[in-house]
Amino acid sequence: MSVRTLPLLFLNLGGEMLYILDQRLRAQNIPGDKARKDEWTEVDRKRVLHDIISTMFNRKFMEELFKPQELYSKKALRTVYDRLAHASIMRLNQASMDKLYDLMTMAFKHQVLLCPRPKDVLLVTFNHLDAIKGFIQDSPAILHQVEEIFRQLTEVKCFFLLCLWQTYGGLSAGEFQLIRQTLLTFFQDLHIRVSLFLKDKVQNSNGRFVLPVSGPVPWGTEVPGLIRMFDSKGKEVKKVEFKHGGNYVTAPKEGSFELYGDRVLKLGTNIYNECRALTFSKGPQDAQTSVIYITLREEPFPPNFTGIFLWEAMKSAWLLPT
């Protein structure tokens, strides 16, 4: 299978995790002045997201991630997210961590399955990265050495983008097809039913995703329904239409693969909002629903200066145009 798949798997699952944690923390949000010591505030929420983002984009970890390698086993990958989720002042019990991981994996499985072209998984990745930008903007200002931030800024921005473009910038359609097959193999036989997906008719009650047969065709594909016949000189001699069975239209435009741009594709954007509770069921019948619940760590957590430097650097990096 493709040895270039792990960064995409990690970044996209990480992105989904941030969406879900953000939604849960907002749902559990208490206004700052009214909060007790054990309750969540807006500042706490931003702190958690920043700490996780800075851990995700840690340079040493990125170097390791982008090395050509087979995918981690399901168990090993789950451990990585366990650690990542606990990189800050947040704690999740085992059941909540299970639910978080189930939702992350089903969400990304859905995105990979519905990608119009195999290379559109890069657009999904960009959607996640664009959203991560938003999480680290408007942060409370934390003042530290300016020179240190400038140094980190150039390093981190250049390094991360370099990794991404080096790995995926020159890949052919065939290589993206292999990456897609590798991802689908990883997600094979996962059919956990998610109430949000069931409600939106994105998933059937048997856990299988709905594959629409209408809408825009992928960029570069023609709307099915035409047979064209040519003579030996290449001149068209006959044109016949046939009924395809779907209801497709031409793609309006191609999504942008640049650092900034309109991705066009909605897969990988944040589908969770405050009004929706996240619940799950695993069995054939609707099991008892449970909700991801996040608590504060019991023991005191030391301030993470490295993490703060990194997210300040990341914040400035993303805000600067190329």
Enumerate binding residues for other proteins (CB under 8 A). 1-4, 68, 70, 73, 113, 116-118, 172-175, 177-178, 180-181, 184-185, 188-189, 191, 204, 208-211, 213, 217-218, 220-232, 234, 237-238, 240, 242-246, 248
In this structure, the number of other CB atoms found within 10 A of the CB of residue 118 comes to 20
By beta-carbon proximity to other proteins, the closer residue of 30 and 198 is 198
By beta-carbon proximity to other proteins, the closer residue of 116 and 307 is 116
Least Cβ distance, residue 282 to other proteins (angstroms): 16
Least Cβ distance, residue 67 to other proteins (angstroms): 9
By beta-carbon proximity to other proteins, the closer residue of 95 and 249 is 249
Contacts of 65 (CB under 8 A, 6+ apart): 6, 7, 10
By beta-carbon proximity to other proteins, the closer residue of 93 and 166 is 166
Rounded-to-integer distance, Cα 77 and Cα 41, Å: 30
- Is the distance from CB of 156 to CB of 315 less than 8 angstroms? no
In this structure, the number of other CB atoms found within 10 A of the CB of residue 17 comes to 20
Least Cβ distance, residue 76 to other proteins (angstroms): 11
By beta-carbon proximity to other proteins, the closer residue of 1 and 291 is 1
Least Cβ distance, residue 170 to other proteins (angstroms): 11
Least Cβ distance, residue 221 to other proteins (angstroms): 5
- Phi then psi for 68, rounded to 5 degrees? -60, 125
Least Cβ distance, residue 130 to other proteins (angstroms): 26
Least Cβ distance, residue 56 to other proteins (angstroms): 23
HSE at residue 295, side-chain half, CA atoms within 13 A, is 9
By beta-carbon proximity to other proteins, the closer residue of 220 and 261 is 220
Rounded-to-integer distance, Cα 63 and Cα 288, Å: 42
By beta-carbon proximity to other proteins, the closer residue of 93 and 221 is 221
Q: For 2-69, give the DSSP string.
A: -TT-HHHHHHHHHHHHHHHHHHHHHHTB--GGG--TTSB-HHHHHHHHHHHHHHHT-HHHHHHHTSS-
Name the DSSP class of 120: G
